[in-house]
Amino acid sequence: MKFLKTAQIKLFAVAIVAATAGLGAGVAIAGQPELQGALSSLQSAQDYLSHVTQDKGGHASAARHLVAQAIAQVNEGLAYGQAHGE
C-alpha cells in the first residue's frame, strides 16, 4: 500500500504542475478556466501515459488509474459549476 500512497503523492504533484502549465498557456473557457486548463493538462498526461511501454514496477498503471480518476473528478466539477451558474 505504501507504493500506492507514494504514487498518489507523485501523481498529485504532477497534476498540479500540469494544471499550472495549462493555465500558463492561456487556456480560458468562460466561467471555469482553471478547471478547463486542468482538464486539458490531465488529458495530455493521460496521452503520454498511454504510450508508456514498461509498467515501471506498477507505477505507470497506477498513474494511468489516478489520472483517469482526476479527469472524472474535474468533469464532475465542471458539471457542478455549470449546473450552479459558476
Residue by residue, pLDDT tens for the chain (86 residues) are: 565 566 666 666 555 555 555 544 443 446 899 999 999 999 999 999 999 999 999 999 999 999 999 999 999 999 999 999 88
In this structure, the chain runs to a length of 86
- pLDDT at residue 29, rounded to an integer: 46
- pLDDT at residue 25, rounded to an integer: 40
Please report which residue ranges of the chain form alpha helices under DSSP H.
2-24, 33-50, 59-83
- Show the domain range for 79: 2-83
How many domains, in total, are found in the chain?
Answer: 1
Cell of 30: 468562460
* Amino acid letter, residue 21: A
Its pTM stands at 0.65
